[in-house]
């Protein structure tokens, strides 16, 4: 029923205010702030107040809507994160601005007209369509409104609508705009293009020292060395403590007995073919034919089916959904055909073509695997005790190297690692315990600092940073081969671009792309009816399509292709569709753009109103209404 309060502003134009109000409040800000408010007022625009009661009612409704949208109760903290208080207050401030201006303009609505609108509201009508005063009073009471409050708010809504309708109610995007849009979207082109791959350039000789140095100097940042750290690592995992030799055969056998049914057993499987008949009569006729000597394959031929088409796979009993089918299938020998089965999806006849017997992997084949599992499981239980021993040793001043030697753990030295986990040559460091989490900890530490062990995969890793090398510019000799390779790649692209541009110029000067392709040993690719939007044809991507639409018929463009290739694309034919105002595919775009124009008008208008009338916020009342504790400041 509360929606009735906004009936006067429920048209599509006023609905634009839902987004507008947030913008007007949260983005433009408030022109004034002071604390001398009436405690019942949360904001004032000109001479119009937004009461705490109004805000609380709107805010409660917004919280309920958000809760339904997100499927959970909206807490005050989540509401703040979603900026729901600002949205609600923004809407009320914009309403107040329009209401204040409407009063200044002397706008109004007669009591008779307002009474008629209330009586015509379906929310207040009985099943016969007549105004029901008892229902009217009850709905107002449920909404926490008196009759006078409701009438006043409804009156203000219809008055505001006079402004919004007068300003933007009949806004329509110009026909010239829609024509341009239709032509832009509907234009089709036939395209021809050549693919120039780096192979066309062939081998490029090494650059001279002068060229190499110049290239290196121009791209020096590409070769800058990041900060590197040298670290010593020691890990403790169940694998480090596991002793499979200490696990007895009896223990492994006991584990095997517990898990063999699920881990080491394969159930019997059968390859099943089935014919599903349309009716019981059809099935009975087929069953009689089989009884008379007709084969299953002959039944398939009569029905225009093949064995492959009716094969439902190699299945275990539990894989078959229909228990009657499962019972029939697992009661047959290989090659056997069942009688007619009353299946869940109709009468069925089944043939079993293959039987794979159930199998159990013998204990002897998995004994070593089970012993290793048991050893690691027991070792995992020992990890916490071993950590205490290692930490006590570290507290006593022992180094990681000493601890590793004393307890038979592996010590690993990483001479250089950067913040992304790569070594000095830029390669990812393999088998790094803890992965990026360890790297992050390394770069938050420093030389000489004690570091807490990091939990990794049921174990722990310790590290010491032993050296730090600050980031720096590398010298050419350090990366010479890489710079040469980069120079060659850039040179290939440079020459390829020049060749592509030369072909483009030939086309622009009237050259035939097919003849040019023949002379260059290239193949012309083509596509017809290509539009700006939609999936591009094979061999082209969206940037290539945009390049192809960059000029008139005969226009040639150069763009990047896959794997370093260059494309020369020519628009060989251009078709612009005829424009029909009101065409079905333009109805929604026209409506949307018209709404956007109206939105721009209303946005500007309400902004100017707020600037001229002035907006002040009672921060204390606002904070109280939303359950916040902060005071002062601007929202």
DSSP 399-459: -HHHHHHHHT--EEEEEEE-TTSB-TTSPBPTT-TTHHHHHHHHHT--TT-----EEETTE
Which residues share a beta bridge with 166? none
* Alpha carbon distance 351, 511 (integer Å): 69
Quickly list H helices, 206-320: 209-218, 238-241, 249-263, 280-291, 296-302
Q: What is the DSSP string of 319-356?
A: G-S-HHHHHHHTTS-TT-B---EEETTEEEEEEEEEEE
What is the pLDDT at residue 410?
A: 87
**Residues contacting 605, CB < 8 A, separation 6+:** 167
Question: Around 547, how many Cα atoms within 13 Å sit in the side-chain half-sphere?
Answer: 19
Residue 618 has pLDDT above 70, yes or no: yes
Tokens of 329: 């299938």
Residue 127 has pLDDT above 90, yes or no: no
Quickly list H helices, 169-246: 175-186, 209-218, 238-241
CB of 496 closer than 8 Å to CB of 194:
no
Residue 92 has pLDDT above 70, yes or no: yes
| Widest distance between CA atoms in the chain | 103
Q: What mean pLDDT is predicted for residues 426-448?
A: 93
Tokens of 483: 């710079």
Confidence of residue 628 (pLDDT cuts 50, 70, 90): low
* Alpha carbon distance 424, 225 (integer Å): 8
* Alpha carbon distance 617, 89 (integer Å): 10
**Geometric angle at alpha carbon 505, from 501 and 507, rounded to 5°:** 115
pLDDT by residue (tens digit) across 494-516? 999 999 999 999 999 999 999 99
Q: What mean pLDDT is predicted for residues 477-490?
A: 95
Residue 556 has pLDDT above 70, yes or no: yes
CATH class as words, domain 2-171+593-626: mainly alpha
How are strands ordered across the β-sheet holding 269-276? 311-316, 269-276, 346-356, 341-343
- pTM greater than 0.75 (yes/no): no
Q: What mean pLDDT is predicted for residues 349-362?
A: 93
What is the pLDDT at residue 11?
A: 41
CB of 128 closer than 8 Å to CB of 64:
no
CATH number belonging to the domain at 265-360, selected among 3.10.50.40, 3.30.2010.10, 3.40.640.10, 3.90.25.10: 3.10.50.40
Residue 23 has pLDDT above 80, yes or no: no
* Alpha carbon distance 97, 24 (integer Å): 11
Which residues share a beta bridge with 346? 343
* Alpha carbon distance 199, 218 (integer Å): 26
Domain ranges of the chain: 2-171+593-626, 188-209+481-575, 228-237+378-469, 265-360
Confidence of residue 244 (pLDDT cuts 50, 70, 90): confident
Strands 615-617 and 32-33: parallel
Q: What is the DSSP string of 481-511?
A: HHHHHHHHHHHHHHHHHHHHHHHHHHHHTT-
Phi and psi, residue 462, nearest 5° = -110, 150
pLDDT by residue (tens digit) across 129-159? 888 888 888 888 877 778 888 888 888 888 8
CB of 44 closer than 8 Å to CB of 37:
yes
Q: What mean pLDDT is predicted for residues 18-32?
A: 40
CA atoms 103, 109, 115, 118: torsion sign = negative
* Alpha carbon distance 274, 309 (integer Å): 9
* Alpha carbon distance 600, 19 (integer Å): 11
Strands 228-236 and 459-469: antiparallel
Phi and psi, residue 228, nearest 5° = -115, 150
| Helix/strand/coil for 361 | coil
* pLDDT mean across residues, the chain: 87
Using N-to-C axis directions, what is the helix angle for 363-395 and 249-263, rounded to 10°?
A: 110
Residue bearing tokens 């005050």: 76
What is the pLDDT at residue 193?
A: 96
Strands 346-356 and 228-236: unpaired
pLDDT by residue (tens digit) across 378-431? 877 778 778 888 999 999 999 999 999 998 888 999 999 999 999 998 899 998
What is the pLDDT at residue 37?
A: 55
Task: Classify burial at 446, counting beta carbons within 10 Å of its beta carbon; exposed 0-12, middle 13-18, buried 19 or more.
Answer: exposed
Same fold, 2-171+593-626 and 188-209+481-575: no
Q: Was domain 188-209+481-575 assigned CATH 3.30.519? A: no
pLDDT by residue (tens digit) across 309-333? 889 899 999 888 889 999 999 999 9
């Amino acid at each position: 029923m509360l929606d009735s309060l906004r009936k006067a502003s429920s048209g599509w134009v006023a609905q634009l205010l839902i987004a507008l109000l947030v913008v007007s409040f949260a983005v433009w800000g408030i022109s004034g702030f002071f604390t001398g408010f009436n405690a019942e007022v949360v904001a004032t625009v000109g001479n119009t107040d937004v009461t705490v009661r109004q805000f609380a009612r709107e805010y409660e409704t917004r919280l309920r809507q958000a809760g339904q949208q997100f499927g959970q109760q909206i807490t005050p903290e989540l509401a703040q994160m979603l900026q729901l208080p600002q949205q609600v207050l923004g809407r009320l401030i914009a309403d107040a601005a329009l209401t204040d201006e409407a009063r200044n303009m002397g706008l109004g609505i007669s009591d008779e007209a307002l009474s008629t609108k209330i009586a015509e509201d379906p929310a207040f009508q009985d099943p016969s369509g007549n105004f029901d005063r008892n229902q009217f009073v009850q709905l107002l009471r449920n909404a926490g409104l008196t009759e006078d409050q409701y009438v006043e708010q409804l009156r203000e809504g219809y008055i505001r609508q006079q402004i919004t309708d007068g300003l933007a109610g009949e806004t329509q995007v110009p026909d010239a705009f829609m024509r341009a849009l239709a032509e832009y979207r509907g234009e089709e082109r036939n395209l021809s293009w050549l693919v120039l791959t780096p192979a066309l350039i062939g081998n490029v000789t090494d650059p001279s020292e002068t060229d190499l140095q110049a290239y290196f100097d121009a791209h020096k940042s590409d070769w800058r060395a990041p900060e590197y750290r040298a670290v010593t690592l020691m890990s403790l995992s169940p694998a480090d403590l596991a002793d499979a030799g200490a696990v007895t055969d009896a223990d492994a056998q006991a584990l095997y007995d517990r898990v063999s049914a699920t881990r080491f057993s394969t159930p019997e499987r059968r390859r099943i073919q089935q014919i599903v008949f349309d009716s019981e009569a059809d099935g009975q006729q087929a069953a009689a034919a089989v009884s008379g000597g007709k084969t299953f394959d002959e039944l398939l031929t009569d029905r225009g089916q093949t064995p492959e088409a009716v094969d439902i796979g190699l299945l275990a009993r539990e894989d078959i959904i229909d228990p009657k089918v499962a019972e029939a299938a697992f009661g047959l020998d290989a090659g056997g055909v069942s009688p007619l089965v009353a299946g869940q999806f109709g009468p069925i006849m089944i043939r079993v073509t293959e039987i794979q017997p159930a199998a159990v992997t013998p204990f002897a084949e998995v004994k070593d695997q089970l012993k290793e599992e048991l050893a690691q499981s027991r070792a995992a239980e020992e990890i916490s005790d071993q950590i205490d021993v290692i930490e006590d040793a570290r507290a006593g001043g022992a180094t990681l190297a000493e601890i590793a030697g004393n307890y038979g753990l592996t010590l690993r030295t990483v001479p250089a690692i950067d913040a992304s986990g790569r070594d000095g040559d830029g390669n990812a460091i393999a088998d790094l315990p803890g992965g990026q989490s360890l790297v992050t900890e390394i770069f938050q530490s420093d030389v000489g600092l004690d570091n807490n062990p990091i939990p990794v995969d049921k174990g722990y890793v310790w590290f010491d940073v032993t050296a730090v090398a600050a980031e720096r510019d590398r010298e050419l000799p350090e990366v010479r081969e890489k710079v040469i390779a980069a120079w060659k790649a850039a040179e290939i692209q440079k020459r390829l671009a020049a060749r592509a541009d030369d072909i483009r110029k030939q086309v622009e000067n009237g050259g035939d792309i097919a003849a040019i392709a023949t002379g260059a040993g290239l193949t012309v690719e083509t596509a017809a009816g290509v539009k700006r939007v939609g999936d591009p044809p094979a061999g082209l991507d969206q940037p290539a399509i945009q390049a192809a639409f960059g000029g008139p018929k005969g226009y040639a463009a150069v763009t990047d292709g896959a794997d370093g290739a260059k494309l020369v694309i020519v628009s060989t034919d251009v078709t612009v569709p005829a424009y029909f105002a009101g065409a079905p595919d333009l109805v929604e775009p026209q409506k949307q753009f018209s709404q956007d124009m109206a939105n721009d008008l209303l946005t500007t208008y309400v902004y100017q109103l707020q600037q001229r009338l002035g907006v002040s916020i009672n921060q204390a009342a606002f904070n109280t209404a939303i359950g916040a504790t902060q005071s002062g400041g601007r929202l």
